[in-house]
């Protein structure tokens, strides 16, 4: 084969492979996914009264004392599910130290009225660190328990009700084994709104 | 480490062996002359060979094989560059993204064609669905298949006697794609969607949040890309935060499956090697050496991350592990993965030349971050990339055989082949070229103003960022201390690392295969150094540590070590 012929053949091969692997394969997976797992394939969206209120898989901003708050986010603006990012601050970064201290102080101001005697040493680490995606939908059980007293008091709900809802909206380890348990903040806040209406 | 964490790591190892071993047997059959596909499938295969003007039984010598591989990579580079530059005018772009900037496109082409997937861009805000599917995911398949094909050819060099040919590149490529990567990817992709990974051609979703804000949710054909990204040891995320994003990796179970997919083919290839050379026992010392280095990495990374970073300890927040939290260094980590699964992933992804992440590596503890860095710097041979990991390991194996030969005063032999000056020279080039390249490029990046502009964190951590960037690109890993920024200078310097880091070892390995194929075998005798013994596994680890380890140690001292001690 001459060099030109070899080049032509390689171009043909590249085009065929692109068609099969770059269009055929993803479109086949899309077809199966849309038919068999439509809800998941579309992004696990939560719809209330005909409107998309978010995704179970993406944290969204909550600042009201009535709500559970998600972990800090490094995206701009925070919890941007269309531009995920890490904070990328190193383990000795002074910027990170300032940020962690500021977040800890804000949590003390918010939670101490409901958790007397709370100190920085009682704040779970996930509450003051950015997540990897910027939209981590979960918080640790420890952080949920810390926020439970505030939410119960502000909403005038019994603490036991709030704690029951936390347990119900905790995703345990997959199959009881893989990963770590986490409390889904959006699902929990939706459940709380429902309980408060009753 | 918690009991649950340890149990998950053990389950991972067991699953890897249980799946890798049979897959290795299957792959050895696929690459063999005995292989016959079922009738309708075989017709498609013959059609492809006709298209590229070859036949299954028309074999190539190492030069012809290398030329075909490089030609296809060249053609795909041009196609991918055009696609990225023109994506704004092409279909399947529901979020109306414009052309990828030229310097980013140049680096991305080099990165994806070389099976690296270093990303100087954020996927969801840069790449149209067409670019992700028909550009990047195609390279995820093809670059992996090229590595697998080259490995099959090099192994034939060990197995054959007095031959010039190593196989037919197009046959090995086609079989890697259609009989190995594509079926595995289909299964993994559909499983991932069932667990919550997104797979849609609809554009972003807009949510009206409970607090009255608007949230845009980026979507796309994610699962199909996620599957091949892991199986092909590519690692390039659909989203910027890669497999940390819940839409790529929603649960502990998907995390486990994705981690398995990272090391599945590279570990299976070791067993494939044993079958293809007709000496299954020869696979075990190599597997043991790889596994030992993997285990040391995990055993270091998990407790180091659990111990927490300097910043978190001096802030005084609660980092203790308990039933209610995983504790430790949770900076840039996700709650559902916690410490054990993030540190295990960080080790696996840098042992394999995968480079996907489920947490931010820039925020790893100083010593914990050194583990991935050393893994990458070893030349991606601790299982390594699909194909490239094992053919990279052969360089060290041949050097180990050579050293053993010097010690006993005999001409070194491996698998019955005399290892002579030409093979050792090529193995030395293969083993030493990339580490040298890394050190030279890192030096350039930290003494020039243009290079320093990319550094995000100050002090020794900034040096680690640069060292990691060029280690990752030259070794075709693709993970990052992601603060390291994209400038014209860093993208071009990175492209040099990517291309040379792929070509030189690939060609050296094929040349070794060609050289070995031409040799006769000599019968083993009482004096032959045994390469199927535990001693040989120890020797391989020793050679890796001495060659790669000693080259990186001075650089480690300037970055992670200083930081860990400060």
Chain A residues close to B566, C-beta within 8 Å: 92
Q: What is the pLDDT of residue A174?
A: 86
Same-domain status, A91 and A149 = yes
Q: How far is CA B140 from the centre of its chain?
A: 11
For B335, the closest of A21, A44, A136 (CB atoms) is A136
Number of domains present in the structure of chain A:
2
**Taking 80 as the threshold, does the pLDDT of residue A1 lie above it?**
no
Determine whether the interchain pair A17/B141 forms a contact, defined as Cβ–Cβ distance below 8 Å: yes
Same-domain status, A150 and A96 = yes
The answer for residues whose C-beta is within 8 angstroms of residue A164's C-beta and 6 or more apart is none
User: How far apart are alpha carbons B62 and B306 in whole angstroms?
Assistant: 48
The range of the structural domain enclosing residue A20 comes to 3-38
For A53, the closest of B210, B247, B360 (CB atoms) is B210
Which parts of chain B sit beneath pLDDT 50?
Answer: none
The 3 state secondary structure assigned to B374-396 is HHHHCCCCCCCCCCHHHHHHHHH
> What are the domain boundaries of chain B?
3-565
- List B208's β-bridge partners, or say none: B214
Chain A residues close to B8, C-beta within 8 Å: 177-178
Same-domain status, A23 and A74 = no
Nearest to B330 by CA among A86, A98, A108: A86
Determine whether the interchain pair A82/B218 forms a contact, defined as Cβ–Cβ distance below 8 Å: yes
Same-domain status, A12 and A89 = no
Nearest to A22 by CA among B270, B450, B228: B228
Chain A residues close to B143, C-beta within 8 Å: none
Let me know: does B166 contact B157? Beta carbons within 8 Å: yes
Shortest Cα–Cα distance, A57 to chain B (Å): 6
Q: What is the pLDDT of residue A103?
A: 98
Q: What is the pLDDT of residue B200?
A: 97
Same-domain status, A144 and A76 = yes
Question: Residue B202: is it exposed, middle or buried by C-beta count within 10 angstroms (0-12/13-18/19+)?
Answer: middle
Average pLDDT in the A89-108 region?
97
Nearest to B379 by CA among B543, B181, B494: B543
Let me know: does A130 contact B482? Beta carbons within 8 Å: no
pLDDT in tens, A9-34: 999 999 999 999 999 999 999 999 99
Shortest Cα–Cα distance, A44 to chain B (Å): 7
Determine whether the interchain pair B315/A100 forms a contact, defined as Cβ–Cβ distance below 8 Å: yes
Same-domain status, A96 and A158 = yes
Chain B residues close to A25, C-beta within 8 Å: 137, 182, 185-186, 224
In DSSP notation, B115-174 reads T----SS-HHHH--HHIIIIIIIHHHHHHHHHHHHHHHHHHHHHH-SS--EEE-HHHHHH
With left for phi above 0 and alpha for psi between -120 and 50, is residue B196 left, alpha or beta?
left
User: How far apart are alpha carbons B33 and B297 in whole angstroms?
Assistant: 38
The answer for residues whose C-beta is within 8 angstroms of residue A19's C-beta and 6 or more apart is none
* Among chain B residues, CA nearest to A167: B324
Nearest to B422 by CA among B157, B147, B114: B157
- List A170's β-bridge partners, or say none: A183
pLDDT in tens, A23-72: 999 999 999 999 999 999 999 999 999 999 999 999 999 999 999 999 99
Q: What is the pLDDT of residue B424?
A: 97
Between B252-276 and B283-307, two packed helices, what is the crossing angle to 10 degrees? 160
CB pairs under 8 A between A and B: 392
Q: What is the pLDDT of residue A183?
A: 98
Say which DSSP state B351 is in. H
Chain B residues close to A84, C-beta within 8 Å: 122, 124, 218, 239-241, 244-245
Is residue A178 classed as helix, strand or coil in its secondary structure? strand
Among A29, A104, A186, most B C-beta atoms within 10 A, so best to mutate, is A29
Q: What is the pLDDT of residue A197?
A: 81
Question: In whole angstroms, how large is the CA radius of gyration of chain B?
Answer: 23
* Among chain A residues, CA nearest to B250: A57
Shortest Cα–Cα distance, A120 to chain B (Å): 5
Chain A residues close to B463, C-beta within 8 Å: none
In degrees to the nearest 10, what's the CA dihedral of B282, B285, B288, B294? -100
Determine whether the interchain pair A88/B331 forms a contact, defined as Cβ–Cβ distance below 8 Å: no
User: How far apart are alpha carbons B544 and B375 in whole angstroms?
Assistant: 11
The secondary structure element, H or E, covering residue A52 is: strand A51-55
Number of H helices and number of E strands within chain B? 23, 6
Q: What is the pLDDT of residue B1?
A: 58
ipTM of the complex: 0.97
Determine whether the interchain pair B317/A134 forms a contact, defined as Cβ–Cβ distance below 8 Å: no
pTM score, two decimals? 0.96
Let me know: does A188 contact A141? Beta carbons within 8 Å: no
Q: What is the pLDDT of residue A169?
A: 97
Q: Which residue's entry shows tokens 């052309």?
A: B99
């Amino acid at each position: 084969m001459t060099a030109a012929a070899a080049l032509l053949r390689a171009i043909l091969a590249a085009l065929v492979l692109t068609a099969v692997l770059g269009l055929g394969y993803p479109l086949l997976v899309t077809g199966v996914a849309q038919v068999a797992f439509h809800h998941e394939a579309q992004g696990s969206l939560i719809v209330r009264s005909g409107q998309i209120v978010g995704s179970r898989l993406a944290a969204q901003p909550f600042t009201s004392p009535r709500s559970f708050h998600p972990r800090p986010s490094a995206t701009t603006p925070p919890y941007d599910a269309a531009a995920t990012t890490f904070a990328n601050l190193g383990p000795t970064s002074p910027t990170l130290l300032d940020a962690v201290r500021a977040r800890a102080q804000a949590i003390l101001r918010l939670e101490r009225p409901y958790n007397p005697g709370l100190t920085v040493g009682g704040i779970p680490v996930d509450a003051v660190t950015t997540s990897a995606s910027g939209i981590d939908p979960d918080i640790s059980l420890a952080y949920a328990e810390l926020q439970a007293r505030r939410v119960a008091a502000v909403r005038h709900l019994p603490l036991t009700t709030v704690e029951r809802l936390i347990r119900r909206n905790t995703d345990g380890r997959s199959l009881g084994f893989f990963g770590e348990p986490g409390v889904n903040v959006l699902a929990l806040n939706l459940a709380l709104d429902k309980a408060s209406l009753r | 480490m918690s009991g649950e964490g340890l149990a998950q790591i053990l389950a991972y190892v067991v699953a890897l062996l249980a799946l890798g071993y049979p897959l290795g047997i299957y792959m050895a059959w696929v690459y063999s002359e005995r292989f016959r596909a079922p009738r309708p499938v075989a017709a498609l295969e013959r059609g492809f060979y006709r298209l590229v003007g070859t036949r299954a039984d028309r074999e190539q010598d190492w030069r012809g094989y290398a030329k075909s591989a490089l030609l296809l990579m060249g053609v795909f580079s041009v196609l991918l560059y055009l696609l990225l530059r023109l994506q704004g005018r092409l279909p399947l772009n529901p979020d109306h993204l414009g052309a990828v900037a030229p310097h980013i496109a140049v680096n991305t082409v080099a990165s994806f064609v070389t099976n690296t997937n270093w990303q100087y861009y954020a996927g969801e805000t840069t790449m149209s669905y067409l670019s992700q599917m028909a550009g990047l995911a195609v390279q995820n398949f093809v670059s992996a298949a090229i590595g697998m094909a080259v490995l099959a050819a090099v192994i034939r060099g060990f197995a054959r006697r007095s031959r010039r040919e190593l196989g037919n590149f197009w046959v090995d490529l086609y079989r890697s794609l259609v009989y190995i990567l594509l079926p595995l990817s289909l299964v993994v992709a559909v499983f991932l969607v069932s667990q919550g990974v997104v797979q849609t051609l609809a554009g972003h979703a807009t949510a009206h949040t409970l607090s009255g804000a608007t949230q845009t949710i980026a979507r796309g054909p994610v699962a199909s890309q996620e599957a091949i990204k892991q199986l092909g040891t590519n690692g390039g995320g659909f989203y910027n935060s890669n497999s940390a994003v819940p839409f790529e990796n929603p649960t502990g179970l998907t995390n486990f499956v994705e981690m398995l997919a990272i090391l599945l083919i590279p570990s299976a290839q070791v067993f494939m090697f044993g079958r293809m050379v007709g000496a299954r026992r020869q696979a075990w010392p190599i597997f043991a050496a790889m596994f030992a280095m993997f285990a040391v990495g995990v055993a270091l990374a998990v407790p180091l991350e659990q111990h927490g970073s300097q910043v978190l300890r001096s802030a005084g927040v609660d980092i203790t592990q308990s039933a209610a939290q995983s504790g430790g260094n949770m900076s840039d980590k996700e709650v559902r993965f916690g410490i054990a699964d993030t540190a295990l992933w960080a080790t696996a992804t840098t042992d394999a030349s995968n480079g996907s992440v489920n947490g931010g590596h820039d925020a790893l503890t100083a010593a914990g971050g050194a583990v991935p860095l050393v893994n990458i710097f070893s030349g991606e041979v601790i299982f390594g990339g699909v194909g490239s990991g094992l053919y990279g390991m052969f360089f060290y194996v041949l050097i180990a055989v050579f050293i053993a030969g010097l010690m006993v005063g005999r001409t070194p032999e491996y698998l019955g082949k005399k290892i002579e000056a030409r093979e050792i020279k090529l193995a030395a080039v293969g083993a030493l070229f990339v580490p040298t390249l890394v050190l030279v490029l890192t030096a350039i990046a930290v003494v020039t103003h243009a290079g320093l502009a990319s550094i995000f964190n100050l002090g020794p951590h900034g040096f680690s960022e640069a060292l990691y960037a060029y280690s990752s690109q030259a070794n075709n890993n693709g993970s990052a201390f992601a603060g390291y920024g994209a400038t014209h200078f860093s993208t071009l310097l990175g492209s040099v690392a990517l291309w040379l880091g792929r070509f030189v070892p690939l060609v050296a390995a094929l040349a070794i295969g060609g050289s070995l194929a031409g040799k006769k075998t000599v019968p083993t005798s009482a004096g032959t150094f045994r390469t199927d013994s535990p001693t040989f596994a120890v020797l391989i680890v020793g050679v890796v540590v001495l060659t790669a380890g000693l080259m990186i140690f001075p650089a480690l001292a300037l970055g992670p070590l200083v930081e860990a001690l400060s």
